[in-house]
Amino acid sequence: MFELFQLRCFVAVAEELHFGRAAQRLFMTQPPLSRQIQLLEHALGVRLLERSTRAVVLTAAGKSFYTNARLLLKQAEQAATEARRIDTGEAGRVTLGFTAVTGYGLIPDLLGAAKSQMPQLEILLKEMVSLDQIAALNSNLIDLGFIRPLSIPHAFATELLFAEPLMLAVHATNPLARKRGIKPGDLDRKPLIMHSPDEGKYFYNLITALLGAAGVQPTYVQYLEQNHTILSLVRKGLGMAIVPASAKHLQFQDVVFKPLWKSEIRAEIFLAWRADSQNPALQVVREFAMRLCRRHLS
Per residue in 51-95, pLDDT (tens digit) is 877 788 999 999 999 999 999 988 888 777 677 767 666 668 899
pLDDT computed for residue 153 by the predictor: 79
pTM: 0.66
- Kindly report, as residue ranges, where domains of CATH 1.10.10.10 are found in the chain: 4-88
As assigned by CATH, the class of the 164-266 domain is: alpha beta
pLDDT over 70 (residue 22):
yes
- Kindly report, as residue ranges, where domains of CATH 3.40.190.10 are found in the chain: 92-161+268-297, 164-266
pLDDT over 90 (residue 129):
no
Residue 166's DSSP bridge partners are 244
CATH of domain 92-161+268-297: 3.40.190.10
- The share of the chain scoring above pLDDT 90, in percent, equals 50
As assigned by CATH, the class of the 4-88 domain is: mainly alpha
pLDDT computed for residue 2 by the predictor: 84
Give residue-wise pLDDT tens across range 217-263: 999 999 998 888 999 999 999 999 999 998 888 889 999 999 999 87
pLDDT computed for residue 119 by the predictor: 83
Give residue-wise pLDDT tens across range 163-190: 889 999 999 999 999 998 899 999 999 9
* Cα–Cα distance for residue pair 266/245, rounded to 1 Å: 9
Alpha-carbon dihedral of residues 171, 195, 227, 232, nearest 10 degrees? -40
Give residue-wise pLDDT tens across range 30-44: 999 999 999 999 999
pLDDT computed for residue 60 by the predictor: 92
Q: Which of 180, 206, 178 is nearest to 194 (CA)?
A: 206
